[in-house]
Structure 1
């Protein structure tokens, strides 16, 4: 048991070395925020903090968005890392399942989590996708992918499959309607729901201002 804090810190150091300086909004500081949020949420949920912390740290170790849409890479790379640390197999299986299930898969699909720990990490990840930081990350990723900021001629699509969602390349503003504005009502935990309300409101205010400025007002 005493080894667990050391395993968590070693993992944090590893992820920091891998993702520091990344420019799409999926950098070390994203991981750090998700990690801290997940710990705070877990305090009220009587969850296994060891699982929560490692899953939060490893959830984007090999994101499908940067591996040709392959959503098996993340769990596989996470398993390799955890095995190198000699983490117990049941914990590895639990953490890898969280990583497999965590991604948003489209407005018309269900992203069910199999455990309390998974729901906590998913809430923490989704909180970082909304509000002021979520807006910044959305435009950082859109620029990284060479997407238009906004095009009023291209309407949002509520994707009904993970494949359709993964292959979409619409302007960044569309992403608000295709994902970000939907996340408030998909939070699992009481504390995440409360935090999401304020962040959701900020996004709505941002969009209202954005459209006014677009029309020169």
Structure 2
């Protein structure tokens, strides 16, 4: 086992311990799926596999959603862990920059990554937010936050700032229009775009079925048109 293998093993164990009791859809298994997604993409994109794997493992180590909206909590926690393990400062900086940038911040907010490693991790994370797993995670998180599944009287909103996105409290179905359905076109790698295509189609079919059942088997399908 190489020195990097040992660091990655310790980091995975640390993250698993930290998130093992999560029931919001941001648990260890989410991390592990993102890691596998990101590494699959990184292999095709010829990215630095160590930086990709460490950033994927640490990307939700202190998610702002569970730290009072503080979006600096994650990079700080990642930096503290890596520094404790005497990681090369250049690697620490690269990983923490990805952790700081990875999160979706609203439909009207740019979150592009400057490095191929960041693109791999961000695409890997976003792939886990769409498709069958994405649907399950959306309702799991919505239930945790006490949000209704759907309320046709509450329109979806295309948030123009991170502050507005962080303060949102609408029904879970709105989240599809405010974020999940937007992710396919925000993938930054060819690999991510290819995988996202099928998962996006699944979500569209799911929403059509959900809304048809909501309105009755023969009722009209009423979609949520987001407001700017």
TM range (shorter): over 0.9
Partner of 2:59: 59
Give the Cα separation in 1 of the matches to 2:103 and 2:21. 22
Partner of 1:44: 44
Paired residues in the alignment total: 217
TM-score, with length taken from structure 1: 0.99
Give the Cα separation in 2 of the matches to 1:26 and 1:144. 11
Partner of 1:162: 162
Partner of 2:109: 109
Note the alpha carbon deviations across 1:7-39, whole angstroms, 9 max, x for none: 001100111111113110000000000001111
Partner of 1:149: 149
Partner of 1:177: 177
Give the Cα separation in 1 of the matches to 2:149 and 2:2. 49
Q: How does 1:129-140 map to 2 (within 5 A)?
A: 129-140=129-140
Give the Cα separation in 1 of the matches to 2:2 and 2:8. 11
- Deviation of 1:57 (Å): 0.0
Give the Cα separation in 2 of the matches to 1:178 and 1:212. 20
TM-score, with length taken from structure 2: 0.94
- Deviation of 1:191 (Å): 1.1
Give the Cα separation in 1 of the matches to 2:138 and 2:2. 39
> Runs of 4 or more off by more than 6 Å in structure 1?
none
Give the Cα separation in 2 of the matches to 1:203 and 1:60. 24
- Deviation of 1:155 (Å): 0.2
Does the residue aligned with 2:45 lie in a helix, a strand or coil? coil
Give the Cα separation in 2 of the matches to 1:148 and 1:211. 14
Note the alpha carbon deviations across 1:150-181, whole angstroms, 9 max, x for none: 00000000000000001100000000000000
- Deviation of 1:2 (Å): 2.5
Partner of 2:220: none
Give the Cα separation in 2 of the matches to 1:38 and 1:194. 14
Does the residue aligned with 1:152 lie in a helix, a strand or coil? coil
Q: Which moved more, 1:175-184 or 1:39-48?
A: 39-48
Structure 2 residues without counterparts, runs of 5 or longer: 218-228
Q: How does 1:2-151 map to 2 (within 5 A)?
A: 2-151=2-151
Does the residue aligned with 1:44 lie in a helix, a strand or coil? helix
Does the residue aligned with 1:148 lie in a helix, a strand or coil? coil
Give the Cα separation in 1 of the matches to 2:164 and 2:170. 12
Give the Cα separation in 1 of the matches to 2:85 and 2:39. 21
Does the residue aligned with 1:54 lie in a helix, a strand or coil? helix
